[in-house]
Amino acid sequence: MYTTELIILGAANLGALLSLFLLPRGKVLQYHLVFLVVSLPTWVIGLMVVEWGLLAYPVRELAAINRTSFCFEYFLLPIVAVHYNAWYPENKRLGGRALYLLLYCSALTVPEILIERYTDLLSYLHWSWYITFVSEGFIFLYSRAVLLWFFRPSSHRMS
């Protein structure tokens, strides 16, 4: 098995195991919502970025039918968004919540930089790490907003 395939399998297994053992029980519906809400924009944006020639995935899963990274776009980013929302520091001040967002964006961006630099899994063509960082931040904030809107108290719902 190649190093790139081990990285993909290792990342997918790590994401699944962390979700299985670290997510608090009792909010499964919220986790499903966040996973699905994040999957749609990452799918569309991921396809656009590849089709526009901004990024390339020379080694990827399902290469015959998809030019993006299936593992990252459809599995890892939604799982990280689930964890972001599951552990979100609601009672912290704005600075604490901003730091939390920065930590989650960094946790995905730093490994991506290393993967782009040292493997064939990802190639930046007309892209940079800070675009990844900012776009992940928007995805996390978007998922948080949808979650809060969907599970708002019943007194705030429209009749």
Least confident of 5-9, 120-124, 131-135: 5-9
SS3 assignment for 15-67: HHHHHHHHCCCCCHHHHHHHHHHHHHHHHHHHHHHHHCCCEECCCCCCCCCCC
The pLDDT confidence band at residue 157, using thresholds 50, 70 and 90, is low
pLDDT of residue 139: 98
Domain edges within the chain: 3-19+28-151
Burial class (CB in 10 A: 0-12, 13-18, 19+), 143: buried
pLDDT the model gives residue 28: 92
**What pLDDT band is residue 117 in, cutting at 50, 70 and 90?**
very high
What's the pLDDT at 14?
86
What is the predicted pLDDT for the residue at 158?
58
CB 32 within 8 Å of CB 81: no
Q: What is the pLDDT of residue 11?
A: 86
Does position 159 have pLDDT exceeding 60, yes or no?
Answer: no
Of all residues in the chain, the percent with pLDDT exceeding 90 is 65
pLDDT in tens, 1-60: 578 788 888 888 888 888 889 888 889 999 999 999 999 999 899 999 999 999 998 888
Q: What is the pTM of this model?
A: 0.90
Distance CA 38, CA 73 (A): 9
